[in-house]
Amino acid sequence: DANAVPQAPEDPLFGLMAAFRRDTDPNKVDLGIGAYRDDNAKPWVLPVVKKADEKLRNDPNLNHEYLPIAGLADFTSASQKLVLGGDSPAIKEKRVTSLQTISGTGAVHLGALFLAKFYKPNSNRTAYFSDPTWPNHFQIFNNVGIPQKTYPYFSKQTKGLDFDGYIKSLESADEGSIIVIHACAHNPTGVDPTQEQWKKIAEVIRAKKHFPFFDTAYQGFASGDLARDGWAIRYFVEQGFELCIAQSYAKNFGLYGERAGCFHFITSPSTDAQSVVSRVASQLAILQRSEISNPPAYGARIASIVLNDAELFAEWEANLRTMSGRIIEMRKVLRAKLEEAGTPGTWNHITDQIGMFSFTGLTEQQVLKLREDSHVYMTKNGRISMAGLNTHNVDYFAKAVDQAVRA
């Protein structure tokens, strides 16, 4: 009886977007959704994506047949190289298996589903998420019945990493827990560990036999440098961990709605590694078949054209630097304006943080005041999408923040 179905709350982020659209104030500012905007607050189709799209449309052999269950092979193999580095021993030793997924969300889901079925290191078998994390992590792992806990991540005092809390939590977790880790440009805080801190995190994860589950949604988008943004994952793979990776092409290719992504499972070096990977691959294929049968082709074809062509690849890197450069510039301008105005508080975290988001430290009350008084829309936790700022509205936003903080 469907009468028993309770009303679910609206997704907070999509609700915020709807409220923004309803607002008729000409000065309104959208700092909610995590999608890149250009300096005129417009969505940006990467020029290299336009080129690849044209190539694709002019291809006389293009058709709309199904892809294989694991997706487009040229896309998944290029995705391995992108995330692990072209000369990764894991690829050479055939210790990686990859499936194309419904963007990053689908990759997280496929990984969670696989772990729910096959990963049973202890009776509790809990997944740990950073506090805070991308809220969908909880929903996705909940759907597959994996119990959840959080590890401390963000320090309200420093607006940086609570490294001690993070490490202590990893140390006290049951052996063999699943540790979900943002590979770079942590969402929602923009706070990443330093390389020294990553090394210590890896050490504790190894000592406790935890399973690292990387979520990478911002490679190249964060710093403009693919290797730099991929450093943590590559370090863990170098250290010989068995791990998995959920990879999204939404932000770094601007292919949000095309749902291009990839799931990778990497096993440790061993004489049996190829056999392990082949068995894992066979099970993943069955899960994929029952869930989506086969992934959508269009976005993966576009990414694949770019990733497999040296000239287009270089152009893509330039496009990445355009996006990350504009965001980094907005961080600098915003911080400078707040500091010049003497806005109470410290603002160095605006430029210390990286990627799409900044955790401003604004309270829920201040966030609501900004919405009511200044028509500025951000999530209640004080997260702003830096991509929503531009040379036309950053001054307005800084003044609005100044007012809200002083109120």
Q: Which residues are catalytic?
A: 134, 215, 251
β-pairing, 29-30 with 96-102? unpaired
- Burial of 372-399, coded b for 16+ CB within 10 Å and e otherwise, reads eebbbbbbebbbbbbbbbbeebbeebbe
Position among 105, 189, 304, 390 found at the interface with ligand PMP (CB under 6 A) = 105
Q: Does 100 bind ligand PMP (CB under 6 A)?
A: no
Distance from C-alpha of 295 to C-alpha of 292, rounded to nearest angstrom: 7
Both tokens assigned to 386:
């830096």
Distance from C-alpha of 353 to C-alpha of 333, rounded to nearest angstrom: 14
Position among 88, 98, 103, 374 found at the interface with ligand PMP (CB under 6 A) = 103
Nearer to ligand PMP, 136 or 363 (CB): 136
Nearer to ligand PMP, 294 or 363 (CB): 294
Distance from C-alpha of 226 to C-alpha of 286, rounded to nearest angstrom: 32
Both tokens assigned to 221:
């988008």
Q: How far is the CB of 329 from ligand PMP (least distance, A)?
A: 22
Q: How far is the CB of 119 from ligand PMP (least distance, A)?
A: 20
Of residues 18 through 47, those in contact with ligand PMP by CB under 6 A are 34
Cα 200–Cα 222–Cα 44 angle in degrees, nearest 5: 160
Nearer to ligand PMP, 265 or 347 (CB): 265
Position among 88, 169, 187, 385 found at the interface with ligand PMP (CB under 6 A) = 187
Q: How far is the CB of 250 from ligand PMP (least distance, A)?
A: 4
- Burial of 52-68, coded b for 16+ CB within 10 Å and e otherwise, reads bbebeeeeeeeeeeebe
Nearer to ligand PMP, 219 or 248 (CB): 248
Closest CA to 349 of 337, 340, 339, 358: 358
Q: How far is the CB of 11 from ligand PMP (least distance, A)?
A: 12
Distance from C-alpha of 383 to C-alpha of 12, rounded to nearest angstrom: 13
Nearer to ligand PMP, 100 or 187 (CB): 187
Nearer to ligand PMP, 267 or 353 (CB): 353
DSSP 8-state symbol, 174: P
Position among 80, 98, 189, 248 found at the interface with ligand PMP (CB under 6 A) = 248
Q: From residue 139 to residue 158, what is the string marking binding to ligand PMP with x (rule CB under 6 A)?
A: --------------------
Q: Does 250 bind ligand PMP (CB under 6 A)?
A: yes
Q: Is 255 exposed, middle or buried (0-12, 13-18, 19+ CB in 10 A)?
A: buried
Q: Which residue has the tokens 């990350």?
A: 324
Q: How far is the CB of 75 from ligand PMP (least distance, A)?
A: 14
Size of site (CB under 6 A) for ligand PMP: 13
Backbone angles phi, psi at 220, to 5 degrees: 85, -30
376, 28 Cβ separation under 8 angstroms: yes
Of residues 199 through 228, those in contact with ligand PMP by CB under 6 A are 215, 217
Position among 182, 331, 335, 349 found at the interface with ligand PMP (CB under 6 A) = 182
DSSP 8-state symbol, 201: H
**Cα dist from 320 to 105, 190, 379, whole Å:** 22, 17, 26
Distance from C-alpha of 68 to C-alpha of 300, rounded to nearest angstrom: 13
Both tokens assigned to 120:
């049973």
Nearer to ligand PMP, 34 or 295 (CB): 34
166, 180 Cβ separation under 8 angstroms: no
Q: Does 75 bind ligand PMP (CB under 6 A)?
A: no
Q: Does 335 bind ligand PMP (CB under 6 A)?
A: no
Q: Does 104 bind ligand PMP (CB under 6 A)?
A: yes
From the list 97-105, 115-123, 229-237, 333-341, the region that binds ligand PMP by CB under 6 A is 97-105
From the list 46-54, 248-256, 307-315, 385-393, the region that binds ligand PMP by CB under 6 A is 248-256
Nearer to ligand PMP, 103 or 288 (CB): 103
Position among 220, 254, 261, 382 found at the interface with ligand PMP (CB under 6 A) = 261
Q: How far is the CB of 103 from ligand PMP (least distance, A)?
A: 3
Contact set with ligand PMP (CB under 6 A): 34, 103-105, 134, 182, 187, 215, 217, 248, 250, 256, 261
